[in-house]
């Protein structure tokens, strides 16, 4: 009893009033509607959430016309990350589908406003090549073995684990938690501003990605040193370039419920007119334009060279 109270207090010190939603991957494609709208020239990304996303930057209303791959039918947001590959040979890249992709919405009790209509954000540094290019203080980016045995304190924390994980490989990444309502492209992190939003900005719930990769069947013998794993944006064994993108697709009634998670330290299910927050998906999310762009790693590299 004493122990569990201590653990609860320790957690409460970091995160208060939160919810989480699990999503299935529904598409892998060489698009990035925020960075390269209208084009097929990005490194490969894995997509989760509303399947209304294409190469063109969608609005919140556009996303709400899609089918969500997540368990909350009130959240039609779209989320994406660089695709992870097992490098089986010099030209042989095997896609690793994350066994679990969860979006946590944290510090809701501190939020002043819900996500504005059409709000989108990018976090992380897609060109990072070293720990000094990564801002762990604001984004929290770190990789580790979910159940050990490795100790991330003995290496750069944004590198991938250096020995075989006994369970999943996990990575986390936090999003901005402040936005200027008169110019929603201007956003910031309280962690970079002494725990407050810069003046002129409002505080929003903080989104955090938690991704778990199960590579045991792909790598039955494990690894020692650099793992034969590569993000579409980076070099083999490096996790520095891991980044995340989010476009708000929440229905407003559910966002009002989200902001009711104000009792500190507590998880809350976020329901809405579309159903219970853990109802699950039944609509069958899919790539809306399967003939466009590519889902093949080497083809995506060729298409990037054309620019
Ligand atoms: C992102 O990484 C690049 C290295 O490619 C580095 O020059 C840049 O400073 C990094 N950006 C930030 C915000 O740390």
For ligand 1, the distance from its centroid to the CA atom of residue 127, given in whole angstroms, is 6
Nearest residue to 47 via CA among 67, 65, 24: 24
CB distance 133 to 159 below 8 Å:
no
pLDDT at 10 over 50: no
DSSP state of 69: S
CB distance 104 to 111 below 8 Å:
no
Cα–Cα distance, 273 to 24 (Å, whole number):
22
Q: List CB contacts of 31: < 8 A, sequence separation 6 or more.
A: 39, 40, 42, 45, 54, 55, 293
pLDDT at 29 over 80: yes
- Tens digits of per-residue pLDDT, 45-99? 999 999 999 999 999 999 999 999 999 999 999 999 999 999 999 999 999 999 9
Q: Show the ligand 1 pocket: residues with CB < 6 angstroms.
A: 125, 127-129, 133, 135
Does pTM surpass 0.75? yes
CB distance 208 to 106 below 8 Å:
yes
Pocket test for ligand 1, best of 133, 187, 235 (most atoms within 8 A of CB): 133
DSSP state of 21: E
pLDDT at 246 over 50: yes
Pocket test for ligand 1, best of 128, 132, 187 (most atoms within 8 A of CB): 128
Report CA dihedral (167, 126, 238, 132) to the nearest 10 degrees: -110
């Amino acid at each position: 009893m004493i122990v569990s109270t201590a653990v609860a207090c320790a957690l409460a010190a970091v995160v208060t009033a939160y919810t989480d939603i699990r999503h299935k991957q529904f598409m892998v494609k060489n698009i990035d509607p925020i960075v390269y709208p209208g084009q097929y020239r990005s490194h490969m990304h894995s997509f989760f959430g509303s399947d209304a996303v294409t190469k063109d930057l969608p609005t919140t209303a556009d996303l709400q016309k899609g089918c969500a791959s997540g368990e909350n039918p009130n959240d039609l947001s779209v989320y994406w990350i660089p695709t992870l590959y097992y490098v089986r040979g010099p030209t042989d890249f095997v896609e690793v589908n994350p066994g679990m992709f969860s979006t946590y919405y944290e510090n809701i009790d501190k939020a002043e406003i819900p996500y504005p209509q059409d709000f989108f954000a990018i976090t992380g540094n897609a060109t990072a090549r070293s720990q000094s290019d990564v801002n762990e203080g604001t984004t929290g980016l770190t990789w580790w073995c979910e159940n050990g045995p490795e100790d991330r304190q003995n290496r750069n924390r944004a590198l991938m684990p250096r020995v075989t994980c006994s369970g999943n490989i996990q990575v986390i990444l936090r999003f901005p938690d402040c936005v200027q309502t008169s110019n929603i492209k201007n956003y910031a992190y309280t962690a970079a501003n002494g725990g407050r939003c810069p003046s002129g900005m409002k505080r929003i719930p903080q989104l955090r990605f938690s991704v778990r990769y199960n590579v045991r069947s792909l790598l039955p013998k494990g690894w020692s040193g650099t793992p034969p794993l590569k993000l579409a944006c980076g070099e083999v064994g490096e996790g520095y370039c891991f980044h995340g993108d989010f476009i708000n697709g929440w229905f407003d009634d559910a966002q009002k419920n989200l902001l009711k998670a104000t009792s500190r330290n507590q998880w809350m299910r976020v329901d809405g007119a579309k159903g219970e927050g853990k109802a699950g998906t039944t609509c069958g999310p899919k790539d809306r334009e399967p003939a466009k762009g590519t889902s093949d790693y080497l083809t995506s590299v060729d298409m990037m060279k054309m620019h």
